[in-house]
């Protein structure tokens, strides 16, 4: 209840995440070719064995061509020899199904923007999941593993931090969880007790060709108060501390630079910069909490702290 109250206490004047939110209208302007529009918008099917990802088995992820939502991981792809890319598992919550107009098949669509992806079949015995998502290559973009960055941000309640990054172009996935403590697989109740030492953290996967780590780090320092020790707003406790759990030396160098900029402006920054350790995903009900529960007001309103950037 404390967290929900903290959001409801924020009144008008919330600063929206400038340039960070992609709404439905923006999805219509991602430069779809006539061929892509035929499949993605009008539910068409590309010719078998002609798609660019039919024989692609490199490490990476597949995203929606229209809105960029993460759909499938490469480890779920398998050679079905059916003429189209096949996946036995979709990212949780990324794909929706509905009866196809032909009355026989089940259509799959991007849960975020409704883009037509293909069809799903079961009972064929290809893999242990006994499921084949048969997807048009033209409905997806493939992002190789060497283009994917990972970082973990902790800046108060993870509901608001996750929501901010989840709506940021170039971010592939934002997931709430726990990091920096001493207990394996802690529960929310255990973390809130302060006994485990974990921070509420958000795992952020991002496409390094679409957004820079520096831009993400700047947003992090602007959506929470990095001068508050073990608290954000009315949420208090070590689990609400400000911290970045970095995964590369390059990330650390950028973070050090930004902290110095803030200190030179008079900010008494208390943000911890720590090498990433074990990340434990939070319970399902915490994931995408604000959007799933229709909470439109977040205490993670963006405040400009880097006017020259």
Length of the chain: 309
Distance (Å, rounded) from C-alpha 204 to C-alpha 209? Answer: 15
Distance (Å, rounded) from C-alpha 299 to C-alpha 15? Answer: 10
User: Do 261 and 306 touch, CB atoms closer than 8 A?
Assistant: yes
In the annotation, is 134 catalytic?
yes
Q: Which SS3 state, helix, strand or coil, does residue 75 take? A: helix
Q: If 0-12 CB within 10 Å is exposed, 13-18 middle and 19+ buried, where does residue 220 land?
A: buried
Catalytic one of 64, 113, 134, 299: 134
Q: Cite the beta strand spans of the chain per DSSP E.
A: 60-64, 70-73, 86-87, 95-99, 106-110, 116-122, 131-135, 140-144, 148-155, 171-179, 199-207, 231-232, 235-236, 242-246, 272-275, 280-281
The HSE-up count of residue 190 (CA atoms within 13 Å, CB side) is 16
Catalytic one of 113, 157, 192, 299: 157
Residue 161 backbone class (left: φ over 0; alpha: ψ -120 to 50; beta: rest): alpha
Q: How many CB atoms lie within 10 A of CB 280?
A: 18
In the annotation, is 110 catalytic?
no
Q: How many CB atoms lie within 10 A of CB 57?
A: 12
Q: How many CB atoms lie within 10 A of CB 183?
A: 15
DSSP 8-state code for residue 44: -
Catalytic residues: 134, 157
């Amino acid at each position: 209840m404390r967290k929900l109250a903290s959001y409801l206490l924020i009144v008008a004047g919330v600063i929206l995440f400038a340039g960070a939110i992609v709404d439905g209208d923006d999805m219509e302007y991602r430069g779809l070719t006539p061929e892509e529009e035929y499949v993605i918008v009008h539910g068409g099917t590309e010719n078998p064995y002609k798609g660019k990802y039919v024989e692609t088995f490199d490490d990476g992820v597949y995203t929606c061509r229209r809105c960029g939502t993460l759909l499938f991981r490469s480890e779920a792809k398998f050679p079905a020899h059916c003429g189209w890319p096949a996946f036995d598992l979709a990212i949780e919550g990324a794909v929706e199904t509905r009866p196809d107009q032909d009355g026989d098949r089940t259509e799959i669509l991007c849960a975020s923007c409704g883009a037509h992806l293909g069809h799903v079949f079961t009972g064929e015995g290809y893999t242990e999941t006994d499921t084949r998502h048969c997807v048009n290559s033209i409905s997806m973009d493939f992002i190789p593993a060497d283009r994917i960055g990972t970082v973990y941000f902790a800046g108060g309640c993870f509901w608001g931090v996750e929501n901010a990054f989840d709506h940021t172009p170039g971010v592939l996935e934002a997931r709430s969880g726990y990091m920096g403590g001493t207990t394996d697989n802690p529960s929310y109740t255990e973390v809130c007790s302060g006994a485990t030492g974990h921070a509420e953290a958000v795992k952020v996967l991002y496409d390094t060709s679409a957004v820079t780590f520096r831009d993400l780090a700047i947003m992090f320092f602007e959506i929470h108060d990095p001068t508050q020790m073990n608290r954000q707003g009315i949420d208090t406790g070590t689990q609400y501390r400000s911290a970045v759990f970095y995964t590369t030396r390059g990330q650390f160098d950028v973070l050090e630079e930004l902290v110095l900029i803030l200190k030179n402006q008079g900010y008494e920054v208390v943000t911890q910069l720590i090498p990433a350790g074990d990340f434990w995903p939070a319970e399902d009900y915490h994931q995408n909490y604000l959007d799933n529960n229709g909470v439109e007001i977040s205490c993670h309103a963006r405040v400009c702290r880097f006017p020259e950037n």
